[in-house]
Amino acid sequence: MAYYLASDIHLRMDRPERARRFARWVRQLEDDASLLVAGDLCDFWMVARQREKELMESEGLGALADFRARGGSLAILPGNHDLWICPFYERTLGATLLREPYDTTVHGFRLHVVHGHLLGARRNWKGWMESREFKHAFELLPRPVAGLLDQLLERKNSSSLEADERRYLAVFRDYAVGLRGRADIVVIGHVHRAVDDSASDPRMIVLGGWQKRSSYLKIDSTGASFHVVADEHQENRSPAVVSRESSPSPPSRSTS
Ligand SMILES: [Mn+2]
């Protein structure tokens, strides 16, 4: 049975193409597959501004509900954007909620999974954005004001992106090294750039965001492979698939 990990899909109603791409991917998962979403399935915008009964109009969440209905199992580890709607995930999608750090053994690989925002590279003002007060304040803002704030944050995020990513990745690598001997693969999200340090011990994989491409880790009896698929609509060319296979002989440990 195949086990998949993805994170940072950042579903939101005003990005239907992203939801459609995610839904297409979910629909081709095997009926008996397991999917772990390692945080930020839904964007804060969607969490704070959409009523709960509107959420299921998202094609991405609909595809997850169908996946559950045909036998798939779904686990969600909350990220900094979707912490607030975990009860909704549990109730509506039948998801199992996980707490980080989450350790599990899959097909002989010892996995250690965190979303990544709590590892110490975060700016203080971003921590405040995760407070209940901020969410309540954001819910009450008139739409044009909320839209403006959303744009400002997006611009701020992209202008400092390079430096932020470098800072986070350095922290992530230190964190992964600290797990040597206890984990075979350390899986992290939050930073939207996909990274596979396949030669390091433990192997560190940053799952990457779904804003412009799709990326996921697949683990089955043949090994662990990380896939990054470019979006043909955005890149305006046929999808390029990057796939790295890890050693086909995982350490002989109990499989769960
Ligand atoms: Mn995040």
**Of 3.40.50.150, 3.40.50.720, 3.60.21.10, 2.20.140.10, which CATH number belongs to 3-245?**
3.60.21.10
Residue 240 has pLDDT above 70, yes or no: no
Instruction: Put residue 104 in one of left, alpha, beta given phi > 0 → left and psi -120 to 50 → alpha.
Output: beta
Higher pLDDT, 182 or 242: 182
**Ligand 1 centre and the CA of 159: distance in Å?**
17
> What pLDDT shows up at residue 123?
65
- Each residue of 112-162: pLDDT tens digit? 999 999 997 666 666 666 777 777 777 777 777 777 777 777 776 776 778
- Min mean pLDDT across 31-35, 101-105, 118-122, 235-239 is at 235-239
**Ligand 1 centre and the CA of 121: distance in Å?**
12
**Ligand 1 centre and the CA of 189: distance in Å?**
7
**Ligand 1 centre and the CA of 116: distance in Å?**
7
Share of the chain above pLDDT 90, in %: 61
> What pLDDT shows up at residue 126?
67
**Ligand 1 centre and the CA of 39: distance in Å?**
6
- Each residue of 1-20: pLDDT tens digit? 999 999 999 999 989 999 99
pLDDT category at 32 given cuts 50, 70, 90 is very high
> What pLDDT shows up at residue 232?
66
**Ligand 1 centre and the CA of 249: distance in Å?**
32
Using a 10 angstrom Cβ sphere, with 0-12 exposed, 13-18 middle and 19 or more buried, the burial of residue 92 is middle
> What pLDDT shows up at residue 173?
97
Please provide the DSSP assignment of the chain as one string.
--EEEE----B-TT-HHHHHHHHHHHHTS-TT-EEEE-S-SB-HHHHHHS-HHHHTTSHHHHHHHHHHHTT-EEEE---TTTGGGHHHHHHHH-PEE--SSEEEEETTEEEEEE-STTSS---HHHHHHTSHHHHHHHHHS-HHHHHHHHHHHHHHHHHTHHHHHHHHHHHHHHHHHTTBTTBSEEEE-SSSS-EEETTSSSEEEE---SSSEEEEEEEETTEEEEEEEE-HHHH-SPPPEEEEE--SS-------
**Ligand 1 centre and the CA of 244: distance in Å?**
24
**Ligand 1 centre and the CA of 70: distance in Å?**
29
**Ligand 1 centre and the CA of 250: distance in Å?**
30
Q: What is the mean pLDDT of the chain?
A: 86
**Ligand 1 centre and the CA of 19: distance in Å?**
17
**Ligand 1 centre and the CA of 82: distance in Å?**
9
Q: Which residues of 123-156 are buried (b: 16+ CB within 10 A; e: fewer)?
A: eeeeeebbeeeebeebeeeeeeebeeebeeeeee
Sign for the pseudo-dihedral over CA of 146, 149, 155, 159: negative
> What pLDDT shows up at residue 125?
62
**Ligand 1 centre and the CA of 251: distance in Å?**
31
**Ligand 1 centre and the CA of 157: distance in Å?**
12
**Ligand 1 centre and the CA of 10: distance in Å?**
9
> What pLDDT shows up at residue 136?
72
Residue 238 has pLDDT above 70, yes or no: no
Residue 239 has pLDDT above 60, yes or no: no
> What pLDDT shows up at residue 95?
97
- Min mean pLDDT across 120-129, 207-216, 238-247 is at 238-247
Residue 226 near residue 5 (C-beta atoms within 8 A): no
> What pLDDT shows up at residue 15?
92
- Each residue of 36-87: pLDDT tens digit? 999 999 998 887 777 778 888 999 999 999 999 999 999 999 999 998 889 9
**Ligand 1 centre and the CA of 169: distance in Å?**
13
Residue 206 near residue 172 (C-beta atoms within 8 A): yes
**Ligand 1 centre and the CA of 126: distance in Å?**
11
**Ligand 1 centre and the CA of 236: distance in Å?**
27
**Ligand 1 centre and the CA of 86: distance in Å?**
14
Q: For the residues 97-101, what does the mean pLDDT come to?
A: 96
